[in-house]
Amino acid sequence: MEVKIVKIGKKSRDFGVLQVGDSCTLGDLKNQFQELHIIHHHRQFFKLRNEDNLKPLVDDEKTLKVLGVQNGSELVFKDLGPQIGYRTVFVLEYLGPLLILWMYSSRPSWIYGDQSTSKSFNRAAFLGTLCWNIHFIKRELESLFVHRFSLATMPFINLFKNCAYYWCFAAVIGYPLCHPLYQSPSNQHQIHFGLFLFLISELLNFAVHLQFRFMRPKDGCHKRPIPKGPLFALVSCPNYTFEVLGWVGFSIMTQLFFSYVFTLAGLFLMTQWALKKHHNYIKTSKVTLQNVTPLKLILVDFFHETPPFRTPTKRNMAMFSARGLNNFISELRSCTSHEEEQKRVDKELGKIRQKFTQNHQLNSYDKKKYAWKLIYIFMLGYDIDFGHMQVINLVSSTKYSEKCLGYLGCSILLKSSDELMTLVVNSIRNDLKSVEASHQCLALCCVANLGGSEFSEALSPDVVSLFMSSASIAHVRKKAALCVRRMMIPNPDLIPIEDLEARLVTLMSETHLGVVTSAASLLQTSMSLHPTKLAALYDVCVTRLGTLVNHKACPRDYMYYNTPCPWLQVKLLRILQQFGVKDKNVNAKLSDVLHRILARPLPGKGAKNNAAFAVLIETVNLVIAQGKRSDPQLKDQSIQLLARFISLSEPNIRYIGLDSMYRYVRLEGDVNAVKAHKDTVLFSLKDADNSIRRRALDLLFSMCDSENALEIVNELVNYLTIAEGAIREEIVLKAAILAEKYAKNLRWYVDTVLQLITIAGSQVPDDVWHRVVQIVTNKEELQKYAAEVMFRALEPTHIDETTAKFGAYVLGEFGYLICESPEMSSEKQFQLLHKHFMVSNIPTRCLILSAFVKMENLYDEIRPLILDVFKQCSSNMDLEIQQRACEYFCLDQIGDELMKKVLEPMPIFPENRESALILRLRNQQKAAIGEDTKISGSANESDQLRDNNTFSPPSSQVDLLSLDSIQPVSGAKLGASTTIGSEVIRSANPVSDLLDVFGDAPPAPQHTIGLDALTSSKMSDWYRNLLLNAQGILLENEFLQIGLKQEYRASQCRLGIFYGNKCANALSGFRVEIDTSKCGVSNTAFRLSTDQVASQLASKQQIVQQVMMECMTPFHETPTLKLSFTCSGSVYAYELRLPCHVTSFLEPVQLSQSDFLQRWQAMEGQDREQRDAWKSSISIDMMQNRRNLMENIKFALVEGSTDKEICVAGSFRTGTLGPNGDKVSIGCLVRVEMDAMNSYQLAIRSANRDVSVSLKNVLRKILL
């Protein structure tokens, strides 16, 4: 690296270019300069020339890169002149007063006369001389052994200044103190008080100096931590305070004039020193000083604990003495009931409303106090319907405290879609263009917090301009980058990709790591939106990561427990996972960096090591994401590191290790690398943490192959006996799938599944024994063995329901194969089944009845017994059993030929149907990953950045329209899928977007094809038809026809969605999601339950999906149907709005005209009323509009409505329970007026703004 050194001023000089290393420190530079120009390094002082100023370089231990020096930078040199050591100056200046007073105390005759030695010292003179010596001896010892100096030397001239000050005062104070005629104070209490004050002050002063010593590790260290402790909690600079108080005590004790002068001079000087020290504290801690004069600085409270000092983000608000707000909060917290709190809040709101409506102007204090109270009341959950304008006015204030509070209030009290936000836009734009960096930061924070498409669109040019500018300070650049990141999510084309790439290269190359970290967040989001762009940043990211890892080039402020800027390392590693660049040189550089990270020793325990673990984990994720491009040695290092992770006792690290190892197996398909750690994974299967057990089970399932299948399945069966109920079903599913896939002996497979059923009992899903039945039916050589095994399984008196159903089906189908054995005759089989028939539940008894009717057809000897059973059950209270018994009994009466034809053996199941076990397991894993996706990150961003192929799971907890018996379709119960050993069961988890505890950015979206222009133009007509009718077409093109049948009842709805494949090819990868995340603010507008749909739609095939929803809160956006599929190699993705508007959940309310007007007036208010006016393109048919409002939308017509005006009333129903236990309803009133010019005037009032807005939007579509 080359740096140019010049000297400016009268004797300007160019010292030329100096070659220094990349790791060169400022001290190394001074030594090298000393060798070249024979100027001692203590006399050297350098400043770095920036664009508009000179930055002093003061820390010799920091590298030039950390100090901001780059290749080609210019350093300005200054010769400080002759220097002398700090300690030398201190020793000499304090030595003089000791010697001078010693000279005076000996009372030489040439000063005091010949008779001076005969007179003795009085008490005050003796104590004063003693205190003087104590003070300066203490100073000498502190200078030699206590004080540590940040600078080694000072200018030589300072020696004469300091010595002159102390020596002169020693001369003028010592002379009268030691004079034989010295008159001491007559009051002894005065002497004792001064002595006591002096000694206490000296002791406390010494304690402060000791604390300073331990805060600075060594001489020459520039670290200036903020001191804390009991003394610093009382005063700002206690060493100076107690120094002054000590001399005050000395002056009181001696009562000398020049002692008072010396004390006042010391007070003045130490005030200046305290002010400088205080500003250094401010610079270190990034706080701001408020209204503190130099005199107050010695005696005021210390800045980090009391009001005179405050942080820049709350700069003027920290000085805000909100006694009224504190009292109000205390009163609310002391309330013992909700009614009492409500009463106090209403009282305060009335007081604030009165203050706001008064004519006289409120002062700044009152404005802030009342605004804070409104914000606090709103955060408690109470509605605020006034005061918004007062908060908005604070935004345009010139005072920082008012402006900051105004922005905070707007961010909390308003939404981006509120009409009042238009009043704030100009103020925000002015602040964005302001020269004040603090105003720019506040505006950027507000824009990022509020978001919103219209709001962002209005301010995006100003934000982008600020982002692209290089003239702003680092703090503004950071916030601008984060604001652009927030605005790019709904608008990916906010900045042209070429300009964005160039700007990001500049920001990622900056020396300020705060700016780099913010730019990395923006880059991470940009990569998700533009996955094939921004390739130029790959090398920049690798270089920046190498600088942090290899050289630890990181300022001290960003060093976290010896890990340089771990949060930036994590971001860079995640960004590199999204790149697919194949540059060999850059990849080699990256591999070297990753080797260094993975070679680090494993961090110890404690929260402080979480950052180091995070870097290691993201490094492993990067190696996994590289796939085949990754260095084999890196893969080995990663596996060894993960093996150490899963052996630790820390549950979080163990979980992440298991999860990463599972991902490695899923993506790489190489189980050999992890098979060596099978025992550790099996041990994790017995962990106390349920999440670790589940992840260990997933890993075992993935690492299973033909070699270890028998051992793993046996371990799973053994573990099933002690497993908790929450994980038992998943163990049974996976063990059954593995037993089927890797079974070398079909009998072993049957025995294994029977063991699972016997151990787990009712927790075994029916799909498991259904799958065994499919295999036994298709494998003739297995049927007799299965019948024998199930006969023995039915012999115990008490068995579970699943075993009874399984055994009944097998004996009914294949019992004839074993009836020749006396031990397993037809009578024995009937007796076994009848024994369990009497004690089983309804579904099992129904299945046993089916087995009986098949046995009746085969065995004449037991036919009377079976018919007796049918007769008994023909009058059973259960309708299902009664119907089956009657039908089976009638079969015997219609003839043997027809009975035999009806009861023929089950045919072989088709081989091309996917296993129900695979479908069930896949649905469970989709649900688990969907829940994790909802938990991580902010709701808005995760929804907007979610991959088009990622779908949320249905919830099984909603019971709508009393349809308790309807369950989601999960495939055919007894459909066959594959033969033993089929590769269809290869994947346990079909998705690769696994759980990430650090909040990874979403994967890059796949290129998809959307709706064409012709189809889009027809959507509005189809949509309007569905708003007015119970069924109709939602979409129709050359691939699909989607029909919708809808039924609404109060707050609940049931949708039947029909998907029909119109093309000649099958639609694969068919996936459907009902997205309600954008309906309400908190993503709780709906409770949802959906059926699963098949992943493949054959040609000309139609399937139906049942969707049940319950509206819980008002909403402003309708649910979205997200659909994707693959046809002929192309991926198609559609987003369709479902016609589930606010009008769908209305119920009519009958009102008279007077009641309507009374309620209309009661709901006055800006937030409750919505108005609209438009001119119709066709002749208005008010009769048809009246029918639409009454019949299709379920409003009730108000008495007195005319042909020119329609007044209707309804109640919006929700499923949320109110305080009284009833479901919450929201009243809605609508007035529609028309004139002769075919114009509409629409007015809507409702108790909830979202309801009013949604009603306005949907009625605008319906009224023609």
pLDDT tens track for 123-167: 888 888 899 999 999 888 988 888 887 777 888 888 888 899 888
Residue 804 in this model has a pLDDT that exceeds 70: yes
Q: String of b and e for 1070-1082 (b: at least 16 CB within 10 Å)?
A: bbbbbbbbbbbee
Report pLDDT for 1057: 92
Domain boundaries, position 216: 85-314
Q: Are residue 980 and residue 1122 in the same domain, yes or no?
A: yes
When pLDDT is cut at 50, 70 and 90, the band that residue 937 belongs to is very low
How many Å apart are CA 452 and CA 416, to the nearest integer? 5
Contact 226, 281 (CB under 8 A): yes
Report pLDDT for 293: 40
Q: Which among 964-978, 1033-1047, 1157-1171 has the top mean pLDDT? A: 1033-1047
Q: What is the pLDDT of residues 556-574, one digit of tens each?
A: 888 888 888 899 999 999 9
- Evaluate whether residue 432 is within a structural domain: no
- Per-residue DSSP letters for 703-727? H--TTTHHHHHHHHHHHHTT--HHH
Residue 1027: name the closest of 888, 1137, 1163 by CA.
1137
Contacts of 1254-1260 with CB under 8 Å at 24 or more apart are 1254/1114, 1254/1115, 1254/1116, 1254/1141, 1254/1142, 1255/1142, 1255/1143, 1255/1170, 1255/1228, 1255/1230, 1256/1170, 1256/1171, 1256/1172, 1257/1141, 1258/1027, 1258/1141, 1258/1142, 1258/1143, 1259/1143, 1259/1230, 1259/1232, 1260/1172, 1260/1174
- Read off the pLDDT of each residue in 800-816 and give the average, rounded to a whole number: 87
Q: Are residue 145 and residue 253 in the same domain, yes or no?
A: yes
When pLDDT is cut at 50, 70 and 90, the band that residue 582 belongs to is low
3-class SS of residue 212 = helix
Q: How do 1102-1111 and 1146-1148 pair as beta strands?
A: unpaired
How many Å apart are CA 894 and CA 899, to the nearest integer? 7
Q: Are residue 527 and residue 541 in the same domain, yes or no?
A: no
When pLDDT is cut at 50, 70 and 90, the band that residue 1083 belongs to is low
Q: What is the pLDDT of residues 730-756, one digit of tens each?
A: 888 888 888 888 888 888 888 888 888
How many Å apart are CA 237 and CA 1113, to the nearest integer? 57
Q: Are residue 180 and residue 283 in the same domain, yes or no?
A: yes
Report pLDDT for 298: 40
Q: Which among 360-364, 1014-1018, 1031-1035 has the top mean pLDDT? A: 1031-1035
- Read off the pLDDT of each residue in 306-318 and give the average, rounded to a whole number: 37
How many Å apart are CA 734 and CA 698, to the nearest integer? 9
- Read off the pLDDT of each residue in 1109-1122 and give the average, rounded to a whole number: 87
Q: What is the pLDDT of residues 960-1011, one digit of tens each?
A: 333 333 333 333 333 333 333 333 323 333 333 323 323 334 444 445 788 8
Residue type, 1083: N
Residue 319 in this model has a pLDDT that exceeds 70: no
Q: Are residue 132 and residue 53 in the same domain, yes or no?
A: no
Q: What is the pLDDT of residues 522-539, one digit of tens each?
A: 998 988 888 778 888 888
How many Å apart are CA 96 and CA 170, to the nearest integer? 8
> How many domains does the chain divide into?
7
Q: Are residue 966 and residue 1024 in the same domain, yes or no?
A: yes
- Read off the pLDDT of each residue in 29-52 and give the average, rounded to a whole number: 81
Residue 915 in this model has a pLDDT that exceeds 70: no
When pLDDT is cut at 50, 70 and 90, the band that residue 479 belongs to is very high
User: Which of 264, 289, 314 delimits the end of a domain?
Assistant: 314
Report pLDDT for 442: 92
Residue 1029 in this model has a pLDDT that exceeds 60: yes
- Read off the pLDDT of each residue in 1193-1203 and give the average, rounded to a whole number: 81
User: Which of 1101, 1124, 1140 delimits the end of a domain?
Assistant: 1140
For 1064-1190, strand residue ranges (E) read 1068-1075, 1086-1090, 1102-1111, 1120-1127, 1130-1137, 1146-1148, 1169-1175
Contact 611, 623 (CB under 8 A): no
Residue 482 in this model has a pLDDT that exceeds 90: yes
Where is pLDDT greater, at 581 or 499?
A: 499
Tokens of 427: 């103020």
Q: Are residue 964 and residue 896 in the same domain, yes or no?
A: no
Report pLDDT for 1064: 80
Q: What is the pLDDT of residues 1050-1070, one digit of tens each?
A: 888 889 999 999 888 888 888
Q: Are residue 172 and residue 269 in the same domain, yes or no?
A: yes
Residue 1114: name the closest of 1260, 1227, 1239 by CA.
1227
- Evaluate whether residue 207 is within a structural domain: yes
How many Å apart are CA 1226 and CA 983, to the nearest integer? 56
List the CATH number of the domain containing 1202: 3.30.310.10
The 3-state secondary structure of 597-626, one letter per residue? HHCCCCCCCCHHHHHHHHHHHHHHHHHHHH
Contact 1102, 1045 (CB under 8 A): no
- Evaluate whether residue 384 is within a structural domain: no
> pTM higher than 0.75 for the full model?
no
Where is pLDDT greater, at 971 or 409?
A: 409
Residue type, 896: D
Backbone dihedral region for residue 1118 (phi beyond 0: left; psi -120 to 50: alpha; all else: beta) = beta
- Evaluate whether residue 343 is within a structural domain: no
How many Å apart are CA 296 and CA 487, to the nearest integer? 47
Residue 431 in this model has a pLDDT that exceeds 80: yes
Q: What is the pLDDT of residues 848-885, one digit of tens each?
A: 999 888 888 888 888 888 888 888 898 888 888 888 88
- Read off the pLDDT of each residue in 1170-1188 and give the average, rounded to a whole number: 78
Q: Are residue 144 and residue 197 in the same domain, yes or no?
A: yes
Contact 93, 168 (CB under 8 A): no
Low-confidence winner among 397-406, 721-730, 1245-1254 (lowest mean pLDDT): 721-730
Q: What is the mean pLDDT of the chain?
A: 79
Q: Are residue 182 and residue 268 in the same domain, yes or no?
A: yes
- Evaluate whether residue 383 is within a structural domain: no
- Evaluate whether residue 66 is within a structural domain: yes
Residue 72 in this model has a pLDDT that exceeds 90: no
Residue 83 in this model has a pLDDT that exceeds 50: yes
Tokens of 636: 């080995």
Dihedral pair phi/psi, residue 1003, rounded to 5°: -70, 160
Query: Any idea what DSSP says for residue 670?
Result: -
Report pLDDT for 455: 76
User: Which of 271, 293, 314 delimits the end of a domain?
Assistant: 314
- Percent of the chain's residues with pLDDT above 70: 86
- Evaluate whether residue 669 is within a structural domain: no
Tokens of 613: 């673990």
Q: Are residue 309 and residue 208 in the same domain, yes or no?
A: yes
Q: What is the pLDDT of residues 484-502, one digit of tens each?
A: 998 888 888 888 888 888 9
List the CATH number of the domain containing 65: 3.10.20.90
3-class SS of residue 264 = helix
List the CATH number of the domain containing 1086: 2.60.40.1230
- Evaluate whether residue 298 is within a structural domain: yes
Q: Are residue 287 and residue 275 in the same domain, yes or no?
A: yes
